[in-house]
Amino acid sequence: MGFPQGFLWGGATAANQYEGGYNEGGRGLATSDVITDGNMNTPRRITIKLKDGTLTSINRFEELPDGAVGYLDPDTYYPSHVATDFYHHYEEDIKLFAEMGFNSFRMSISWTRIFPRGDEEQPNEEGLAFYDKVFDTCLSYNIEPIVTICHFDVPKFLADEMDGWSDRRVVDYYVNYCDAIFKRYKNKVKYWMTFNEINLLNGYTTLGCRKTDDQTRYQALHHMFVASAQAVQLGHVINPDFEIGMMVAYILSYPETCNPADQQEDIDAARNLKHFFCDVQCRGYYPSYKLAEFERKGIVIKKEPYDDEILFNGTVDYIGFSYYNSGVSTSRKDAETTDGNVARVVKSKYLKESEWGWPIDPMGLRIAMNQLWDRYQLPLMVVENGLGAKDTVEADGSINDDYRIDYLADHIAEMKKSIELDGVELWGYTPWGCIDLVSAGTGEMTKRYGMIYVDMDDKGNGNLKRSKKKSFDWYKKVILSNGEDLSK
């Protein structure tokens, strides 16, 4: 048994963290282009211009003051501008992926490369031509592109002029963008995902919204759900063979004890952090618990009369999800917490943590797969997984990332169990940042995930030279054996 024939082995990236070339080829600015670098102790910031013209910056999760807009300050370093420069290295990089044996590669299209402002009717030909070259290179090595249509960025124009996804018009702009790329790449790309980690979006960077309150966020999300459902329907008309998925950050959590109060706490957390998003996109309607919450909190979602029908007819073909770690839910108020990813979570006494405080839990991946499979019976794809760690380049140039190999091997072993013992239908595995790229959370380069090292530091210094880590040869062997040989 084991992994099925034709299983998709690859790696995953995103334009705002990898592509660079931010002002080339007619590309417009995205919200992600005005966010600074940072590190574990210094959060990333957004440069903004106030209504009176003053330049300042705010924490990435803060609200923008009235009338303020994102602003590109020539004296500030923004990691997305060059990132690790896929724009000028795609041939070299894809060749290396092919050498590792990839038969798939997850990447995102930069929306503003195709529609520089976001509201144009006609796409930017130069942008389209760039991705033609990328996909053609992939296909020449029999690498199947897996494309995220929107990964943590919004055209800056739409954010500043329309308040991003809070404005209904953005649904049409997004669908127009999908129409352009679906038609152009209909014979090159089969696998799509509408929005990256839809359950983690909020504020200016990822929603293009100035405000961050529940009312604004849920209204924006409603627009995204509708846009995604429209994209699914449109895509299937353009090419019935398209597989169009959703993408959720699977924030797995366990109740701390068998105390029923912890159990209910965990159910609430799971609904809030992930199930709500999957329920809408996989079942095609809002779940009762969320409607009850809206009622209780006085949140009113403005819908068009045909929205419910669009949602119902635009459910996704598969679920792509990221899985890095698990967390613990507790009803205790005095619990000790760790940084564990999105939310601060209760420390687990059973798990070790990464250097960035993310608990490491390979069995949790199998549990996550089971939960998703049991709830939806839709094919799954693990489109992100991996260990963010500091790497050391030895005097001879080698990089011995045994810790990364251990992490990946343990997670692949659990995926295999889930296929063999649970009968879960898993289509593919694309570990995050197969080549080093900028961290979304901290904006630094030091937090590396790759099997390919890129010479670049937190401030953008470096020659961008690519080199293989120890995990490169290891992953190559894993793929060659279709997941059977995980030995070091």
Q: Is residue 357 close enough to count as binding ligand P53 by CB under 6 A?
A: no
Catalytic residue check, 197: yes
Q: How far is the CB of 203 from ligand P53 (least distance, A)?
A: 13
2 conformational bin, left if phi > 0, alpha if psi -120 to 50, beta if neither: left
Q: How far is the CB of 248 from ligand P53 (least distance, A)?
A: 10
In eight-state DSSP terms, residue 30 is B
Measure CA 386 to chain center.
13
Element (H, E) at 128: helix 125-140
Q: Is residue 447 close enough to count as binding ligand P53 by CB under 6 A?
A: yes
What is the C-alpha R_g of the chain?
21
Q: How far is the CB of 42 from ligand P53 (least distance, A)?
A: 14
Q: Is residue 196 close enough to count as binding ligand P53 by CB under 6 A?
A: yes
Q: Is 20 or 388 the residue whose CB approaches ligand P53 more closely?
A: 388
Which residue in the block uniquely carries the two structure tokens 């009113």? 300
Coil, helix or strand at residue 104: strand
Q: Phi, psi (5° rounding) for residue 178?
A: -60, -45
Q: Is 46 or 310 the residue whose CB approaches ligand P53 more closely?
A: 46
Chain residues 358-397 in contact with ligand P53, contact rule CB under 6 A: 384, 388
Count of other CB atoms within 10 angstroms of residue 253 = 22
In eight-state DSSP terms, residue 61 is T
Q: Which of 197, 243, 265, 414 is catalytic?
A: 197
Is the separation of the CB atoms in 367 and 331 below 8 Å? no
Is the separation of the CB atoms in 313 and 235 below 8 Å? no
Q: Which amino acid is at 425?
A: E
Q: Is residue 343 close enough to count as binding ligand P53 by CB under 6 A?
A: no
Q: Which of 243, 265, 384, 444 is catalytic?
A: 384
Catalytic residue check, 295: no
Q: Is residue 146 close enough to count as binding ligand P53 by CB under 6 A?
A: no
Q: Which residue is nearest to ligand P53 (CB)?
A: 441
Q: Is 3 or 87 the residue whose CB approaches ligand P53 more closely?
A: 87
Contact mark string toward ligand P53, 148..177, x via CB under 6 A: ----x-------------------------
d(CA 205, CA 156): 9
Q: Pick the closest to residue 109 from 185, 203, 201, 205 (CA basis).
A: 185
- Judged by CB under 6 A, the residue of 176, 326, 439, 471 near ligand P53 is 439
Q: Is 147 or 200 the residue whose CB approaches ligand P53 more closely?
A: 200
Residues 6+ away with beta carbon under 8 Å from 24: 87
- Judged by CB under 6 A, the residue of 33, 167, 197, 256 near ligand P53 is 197
Question: Which residues contact ligand P53 (rule: CB under 6 A)?
Answer: 14, 17, 152, 196-197, 200, 249, 322, 324, 341-342, 384, 388, 432, 439-442, 447
Q: Which residues have a catalytic role annotated? A: 197, 384
